[in-house]
Amino acid sequence: MDQNKIDKLADLLNRLNQEGATKELREEALKLVTNIDPVELSLAEQKLIQDGMDPENLRHLCDVHMEVLSDELDKVKAQISTGHVIDTLIAEHNKIKDFLTELEAINFEIQKLNNKEDNPGLMKRLLELAILILDAENHHLREENVLFPELEKREITGPPRIMRMEHDALRLRKRALKEAAENVNELDFNIFKELVDETSKYIVFNLRDHIYKEDHILYPTALERIIGSEIWDDMKIQCDKIGYCSFTPSV
Ligand SMILES: [Fe+2]
Ligand SMILES: [Fe+2]
């Protein structure tokens, strides 16, 4: 990707971060990113970080990127069969997205309560969900220890770095949510509600965003750059060693 395009992308991202997605900026961005494939986009982002852009500015891929990327996931699915490393990761994402939808609904209900006795079933389900969401740990480990190193070997280092950063930030909130759910009886109910509200909203928003970026940018990049079925077979063996999640669909 030529420097001119990267400079334009940098300028656009800076303006989007400063001014928000105005109609003019959206149109300009659409025009620019329509011509960038996911690999180029990853490399461009990496270059921007190397050149000093705050990775935070790249964490919130704007709506415009999302619009352009919306068919990337379908393209990925068409290339792989059931049980492929990436296929399993995507299937797990779908389960996690369902948990997030339920967490959002449960938090909404909890915020309406005046005391926990009004709906003890809700507290029980909150704890179950917090445990399920934390159980995605093996999913993240397979990414961190198998997928990301293969990308890094191919000099794609920026996107995995951002993804690792997000895993760490999310781990803290997931543990905090589980702790709150476990301690509902010990905590003042208003403090409990605040904790649940804050951690749930963080997890729902950021984990959805994270999954979106992996499905639409990182995984397509991996399939384009990691060539050779023997490499993928070997990655699969390493993934098997790490293990799966209680909610991984069986293949
Ligand atoms: Fe991830
Ligand atoms: Fe993931």
Indicate if 60 and 134 belong to the same structural domain.
no
Tokens of 106: 């449960």
- Domain housing 180: 75-242
CA–CA separation, 119 and 128 (whole Å)? 15
CA of 207 to the centre of ligand 1 (A): 9
**Predicted structure pTM score:** 0.79
Residue 95 lies in a domain: yes
Residue 122 lies in a domain: yes
Indicate if 42 and 153 belong to the same structural domain.
no
Give how many domains the chain has, as a whole number.
Answer: 2
Residue 247 lies in a domain: no
Residue 251 lies in a domain: no
Residue 14 lies in a domain: yes
Contact (Cβ atoms closer than 8 angstroms) between residue 199 and residue 176: yes
CA of 213 to the centre of ligand 1 (A): 9
Indicate if 31 and 148 belong to the same structural domain.
no
Q: Which of 181, 217, 224, 221 minimizes the C-alpha distance to 199? A: 181
pLDDT in single tens digits along all 251 residues of the chain: 577 877 887 788 778 777 776 778 777 777 777 667 666 777 777 777 888 877 766 654 555 666 667 777 888 888 899 999 999 999 999 999 999 999 999 999 999 999 989 999 999 999 999 999 999 999 999 999 999 999 999 999 988 999 999 999 999 999 999 999 999 999 999 999 999 999 999 999 999 999 998 998 899 999 999 999 999 999 999 999 999 999 999 85
CA of 23 to the centre of ligand 1 (A): 31
* Local structure of residue 250 (DSSP, 8 states): P
Domain boundary among 70, 103, 120: 70
Indicate if 62 and 81 belong to the same structural domain.
no
Domain boundary among 12, 39, 70: 70
CA–CA separation, 23 and 187 (whole Å)? 46
CA–CA separation, 210 and 167 (whole Å)? 9
CA of 142 to the centre of ligand 1 (A): 9
